[in-house]
Amino acid sequence: MTARLIDGKAIAARLREHVASRVAALGFSPGLAVVQVGDDPASSVYVRTKDRAAQQAGLRASSLRLPAGTTQRDLLATIETLNRDDGVDGILVQLPLPSGLSPHAVIEAIDPAKDVDGFHPLNVGLLTEGRPILAPCTPRGVMHLLDTMNVPISGARAIVVGRSSIVGRPMASLLLAADATVTIAHSRTRDLAAECRRADIVVAAVGRPGMITGDWIKPGATVIDVGINRLADGRLTGDVDFESCAAVAGAITPVPGGVGPMTVACLLENTVTAAIRRRG
């Protein structure tokens, strides 16, 4: 391996310590409410992880678990109650929701000032305009990794593979706001390998194990693997074939231990940002 390893676990731990020290200096404890509908096991793990991390950082975390049969009306009423609760600075509704509930309606019901996931159309619009306030946590985490590793972004060619609202699109907007020249690739992109080979920064957010291989990577490029895929044997792996890409890249994230830990750390950061803005 010739690439520098981007240790997301260590970088996230430092960011969480930084958030904790900001919270300690605030004189109040920002409140984060995490809403889960139903009992999907993966969602339950994510909610517990967020809850624990928030408490460790000195936030007041509360998780609300609503039954799987919750109606759209009841869920919207819960969000309205949290919107009005002055002690709640951040609201996060764990996705995916059970079928029959509209994620769009739910996200649009959240007060944009408390939208710590950064999914509300107002926050998406601000990000698209290049003046993000609450940006989605995973792409924000990627930017933090690039900054920490001193990867030059301004003027660099970046490719984001994947165009979801949660990762790909906001990732491209953040890179563009940082003055990269950005290509967004997706399932209809022609000759994806050639597109990737031109890039100084490759961000993979696809959900296909090992899709991006070393022969797609320009020597010295930075490779960020957002993908989290569970293999048949239970192991987690990314969208990047780590061995072949690490032999060519200048820097690379592992999976697990790369982007994943940054997402929760950036959620804490967004909650502190929301609290400070709301309370002046």
Among 100, 103, 187, 220, binds ligand NDP (CB under 6 A): 187
Give the active site residue among 115, 117, 200, 225. Answer: 117
Q: Which stretch binds ligand NDP (CB under 6 A): 104-112, 181-189, 214-222, 243-251?
A: 181-189
Write the CB contacts of 247 (distance below 8 Å, at least 6 apart in sequence).
1, 2, 3, 214
Cβ-based neighbour number of residue 23 at 10 Å: 21
**For ligand NDP, the closer CB: 83 or 148:** 148
Three-class SS of residue 4? strand
Give the active site residue among 89, 94, 114, 225. Answer: 94
Strands 181-185 and 157-161: parallel
Is residue 190 a contact residue for ligand NDP (CB under 6 A)? no
Is residue 221 a contact residue for ligand NDP (CB under 6 A)? no
72 and 104 Cβ atoms separated by less than 8 Å: no
Is residue 199 a contact residue for ligand NDP (CB under 6 A)? no
Catalytic site includes residue 147 = no
Catalytic site includes residue 117 = yes
**For ligand NDP, the closer CB: 113 or 182:** 182
Please provide the DSSP assignment of 145-162 as one string.
HHHHTT---TT-EEEEE-
Is residue 208 a contact residue for ligand NDP (CB under 6 A)? yes
Write the CB contacts of 80 (distance below 8 Å, at least 6 apart in sequence).
109
Among 12, 37, 176, 206, binds ligand NDP (CB under 6 A): 206
161-165: list long-range contacts, CB under 8 Å, 24+ apart.
Answer: 161/185, 161/186, 161/189, 161/192, 161/196, 161/202, 161/203, 161/204, 161/205, 161/206, 161/212, 161/239, 162/186, 162/204, 162/205, 162/206, 162/207, 162/226, 164/205, 165/119, 165/124
Is residue 139 a contact residue for ligand NDP (CB under 6 A)? no
Catalytic site includes residue 85 = no
Q: Which stretch binds ligand NDP (CB under 6 A): 21-29, 77-85, 115-123, 222-230?
A: 222-230
**For ligand NDP, the closer CB: 21 or 102:** 102
Among 151, 166, 248, 268, binds ligand NDP (CB under 6 A): 166
Among 14, 186, 277, 279, binds ligand NDP (CB under 6 A): 186
Query: What residues line the site for ligand NDP (CB under 6 A)?
Result: 138, 161-164, 166-168, 185-189, 192, 205-208, 226-229, 259-260, 263
Residues labelled as active-site residues? 50, 94, 117
